[in-house]
Amino acid sequence: MTQRYPVIHLLALILVALCAVRTHAQEQPEAADRSLSGDAVCTRCHDETESNPILSIYKTRHGVKADARTPGCQSCHGASQAHVKNPQGTQTRPLVDINFGPHSDTPAETQAGTCLGCHQGGLRTHWAGSEHERRNIGCPSCHLVHTQDDPVLNKLTQPDVCFACHQTQRAQIHRVSTHPIAAGRIGCSDCHNPHGSAGPRLMAKDSINETCYTCHAERRGPFLWEHSPVSDDCTNCHTPHGSNNAALLKTRTPWLCQECHSADHSGPINSGANLPSGLATSVNGLLPLANQAPRAQTNGRNCLSCHPLIHGSNHPAGARFSR
Ligand code: HEC
Ligand code: HEC
Ligand code: HEC
Ligand code: HEC
Ligand code: HEC
Ligand code: HEC
Ligand code: HEC
Ligand code: HEC
Ligand code: HEC
Ligand code: HEC
């Protein structure tokens, strides 16, 4: 009899020690957050031993306990009773009701609908019918919600998320002239709203020019002398992601200018030029001026040396777009 007490004592001691370890674990700041009410139904099996960092979700905005809007596991994955209970006792559990990721059997629409339940509106106002939505690119194609720092939300790591599908742009941002995208100063989402847009090409604003003006406001004018291709569309002359010509130009001057103008001041706008819509009439207005003499000689000199203020100018006299 007396011999058994120490054994029981020992067991008790081990128990106390185990409890202490558990309590200690729960007291650690990261661990303490891991008890969002309700999640225990999942976290009793999915814990920190998981190879993928499932519980890191508690270190994200989806883990803010004090916020009543914070989702639990089942807000995103569904009640998943079959998965939790595994009534058939199969070796591999039935899948959760809503699963995400590359091997998901949940339609992209249902996946997105789950997220949109809380994230409708705002940046996602134009999600329905957007280029990505129509191509079945679901929210998790870009967002990692179980990862502490979702790469797509960080300007430095965001481009790589997009480049997984947009290889052309990956090459473009390393050309001679670029926006400082590789440097992380500008993200794709400064110009694009990947969730959808009222403008073309998923522009962040309603048009390409409005998007450019958010950072290049001085190009908006108003100018006394407007250069209509500028107010029409910056991409008449520039390419946004990268160019082998200076200043992100699509073509070098004077060839760029000669796409629309004659090389020698000898006439009106080049016929067959790729003119901005609705400009044909104002272009013909150049004719009288073109017929005046004496003519300034271009002599193959760069147009910009005499017309440097190419985006518009305010000087009332002299050649247009000069200082
Ligand atoms: C009794 C233990 C247990 C419970 C409870 C449990 N899971 Fe699982 N879960 C597993 C196991 C084990 C796997 C790995 C797949 C397999 O072997 O069945 C898994 C796989 C998964 C997967 C990846 C595969 C898939 O189904 O898409 C997800 C997501 C998942 N569980 C979510 C949940 C959620 C959410 C809950 C709570 C509603 C939950 N689990 C509750 C044991 C459990
Ligand atoms: C905000 C929605 C959301 C919440 C909340 C959420 N998940 Fe997930 N879960 C996802 C998405 C999306 C994926 C796909 C991978 C990713 O985005 O990280 C995923 C993937 C998983 C996987 C599979 C991981 C893999 O790589 O195979 C498991 C297991 C899982 N979740 C369990 C849970 C558990 C347990 C909880 C609660 C602690 C939970 N999830 C809460 C959205 C959610
Ligand atoms: C039950 C509601 C709910 C669901 C479902 C939900 N979220 Fe959230 N989500 C939130 C809340 C609340 C925040 C914090 C917002 C805030 O602070 O303004 C948030 C924040 C985010 C953020 C911003 C994170 C950050 O660091 O800024 C992203 C991205 C996000 N959710 C994506 C998703 C995706 C993808 C899904 C679906 C897989 C999803 N959410 C499902 C409630 C939800
Ligand atoms: C093609 C990639 C892509 C897809 C698909 C995508 N997102 Fe995003 N998401 C982003 C990027 C990039 C940002 C950062 C936007 C910014 O900084 O302006 C973002 C930001 C967010 C944010 C935080 C900013 C905010 O609006 O409050 C939430 C929430 C969000 N996304 C939810 C979703 C939901 C829900 C879906 C699916 C319906 C989704 N996203 C699909 C790329 C994507
Ligand atoms: C400075 C603004 C700006 C930035 C930053 C930007 N884009 Fe764009 N993007 C545009 C404009 C303007 C267009 C439409 C005109 C064009 O295609 O030349 C466009 C077009 C696109 C297209 C459609 C191309 C096609 O030919 O249909 C894709 C895809 C794209 N961008 C992806 C990206 C990705 C990925 C990033 C980040 C690495 C990015 N963009 C950064 C302005 C930008
Ligand atoms: C999972 C693949 C995938 C990812 C990731 C992805 N896209 Fe796309 N994106 C597509 C597909 C598919 C299209 C439609 C076909 C095309 O234009 O290539 C598209 C189209 C576009 C377009 C052109 C829209 C138009 O009107 O022509 C832009 C701009 C764009 N994506 C930007 C982005 C940005 C920015 C990111 C990262 C935040 C991103 N995409 C991430 C697959 C993806
Ligand atoms: C988010 C801010 C932002 C937006 C939006 C933006 N830009 Fe820029 N742009 C910059 C920055 C920053 C630089 C680099 C300036 C520097 O390096 O000093 C730059 C540089 C340029 C340059 C000169 C490049 C060179 O090599 O000298 C051109 C041309 C240009 N942008 C055109 C555009 C056009 C066209 C748009 C719209 C499609 C646009 N930008 C939208 C921030 C922006
Ligand atoms: C008619 C052709 C044309 C159009 C259209 C055009 N640009 Fe330019 N842009 C140029 C040329 C040429 C240069 C190079 C100027 C130089 O080298 O002095 C330039 C240079 C720039 C620069 C960098 C040079 C600097 O001054 O720092 C920015 C930024 C810029 N453009 C923005 C825009 C924006 C924004 C739009 C649309 C609102 C636009 N451009 C439309 C021809 C054009
Ligand atoms: C996409 C076509 C296009 C390109 C490229 C273009 N222009 Fe123009 N330019 C026009 C049109 C159209 C007008 C007539 C403007 C109007 O009437 O509003 C014009 C007007 C002018 C004028 C003023 C004519 C006057 O009324 O006195 C000058 C100078 C000029 N452009 C120089 C240039 C130079 C230099 C370049 C190259 C850097 C260039 N343009 C590139 C279309 C273009
Ligand atoms: C030596 C300075 C100089 C150079 C170089 C120059 N221009 Fe001019 N340009 C002028 C002057 C001055 C005018 C005013 C009208 C005049 O006197 O001919 C003018 C007028 C124009 C006009 C108004 C219509 C017309 O034909 O008279 C256009 C368009 C034009 N230039 C385009 C260009 C283009 C394109 C280039 C480059 C191929 C260029 N310019 C090079 C000085 C120059």
- For 80-96, how does the pLDDT look when each residue is reduced to its tens digit (9 = 90+)? 999 999 999 999 999 99
The amino acid at 198: A
pLDDT of 115 = 96
For the record, the structure tokens of 244 come out as 């082998």
| Of 248, 247, 274, residue with least CA distance to 259 | 274
Q: Helices (H) and strands (E) in the chain — how many of each?
A: 16, 4
| Gap between the Cα atoms of 11 and 18, Å rounded | 10
- The larger pLDDT score, comparing residue 263 to residue 119, is at 119
Q: Is 191 in the pocket of ligand 6 (CB under 6 A)?
A: no
Q: Over range 24-34, report the average pLDDT.
A: 34
Does residue 25 surpass a pLDDT of 80? no
pLDDT of 323 over the 50 cut: yes
Question: Which residues neighbour 309 within 8 Å (Cβ) at sequence distance 6 or greater?
Answer: 321, 322, 323
Are 298 and 265 in contact, with CB atoms under 8 Å apart? yes
Distance CA 220, CA 209 (A): 8
3-state secondary structure of 213: helix
Domain residue ranges of the chain, discontinuous segments joined by +: 108-213
The model's pLDDT over 220-253, given as tens digits with 9 standing for 90+, comes to 999 999 999 999 999 999 999 999 999 999 999 9
Q: How far is the CA of 225 from the centre of ligand 9 (A)?
A: 11
Inform me whether the pLDDT recorded for 285 exceeds 90. Answer: no
Ligand 8 pocket, CB under 6 A: 209, 212, 216, 219, 227, 229-230, 234, 236-238, 247, 249, 253, 304, 308, 310-311
What number does the ligand 7 atom closest to the CA of 190 have?
A: 1
Mean pLDDT, rounded, for 288-299: 50
Q: Is 207 in the pocket of ligand 5 (CB under 6 A)?
A: no
Torsion of CA 120, 123, 128, 133, to 10 degrees: -110
More reliable by pLDDT, 268 or 21: 268
- CA-angle at 276, arms to 230 and 246, nearest 5°: 45
The predicted pLDDT at position 171 comes to 96
Pocket of ligand 3 (CB under 6 A): 60-62, 67, 69-71, 75-76, 114-115, 117-119, 139-140, 143, 145, 150, 153
| CB atoms closer than 10 angstroms to residue 323 | 11
pLDDT per residue as tens digits for the range 133-160: 999 999 999 999 999 999 999 999 999 9
Q: What is the end-to-end Cα distance of the chain in Å, rounded?
A: 107
Average model confidence (pLDDT) for the chain?
82
pTM of the model: 0.91
* pLDDT score of 184: 96
User: Residue 4: pLDDT above 80?
Assistant: no
Alpha-carbon gap, residue 107 to 103, rounded angstroms:
11
Tokens of 294: 């004496």
Any idea which ligand is nearest the CA of 311? 8
Q: For the chain, what is the largest distance between any 2 Cα atoms, rounded to a whole number of angstroms? A: 125
Greater pLDDT, 35 or 142: 142
Question: Would strands 312-313 and 225-226 be described as parallel, antiparallel, or unpaired?
Answer: antiparallel
Alpha helices, DSSP H only, in 174-322? Answer: 188-191, 208-213, 228-232, 255-258, 280-284, 287-290, 303-306
* Three-class HEC string of 13-26: HHHHHHHHHHHHHH
State the DSSP H helix or E strand holding residue 243, giving kind and residue range, or none if neither: strand 242-243
Q: Which bin fits 27, alpha (ψ -120 to 50), beta or left (φ > 0)? A: alpha
Q: Which pLDDT value is given to residue 142?
A: 96
Q: How far is CA 319 from the centre of its chain?
A: 42
H helix runs in 202-244, sequence order:
208-213, 228-232
> Is the Cβ atom of 96 under 6 angstroms away from ligand 1?
yes
Query: Among 68-72, 168-172, 174-178, 300-304, where is mean pLDDT lowest?
Result: 300-304
**Nearest ligand 2 atom to alpha carbon 52:** 26
How far is Cα 201 from Cα 28, in angstroms, rounded to an integer? 47
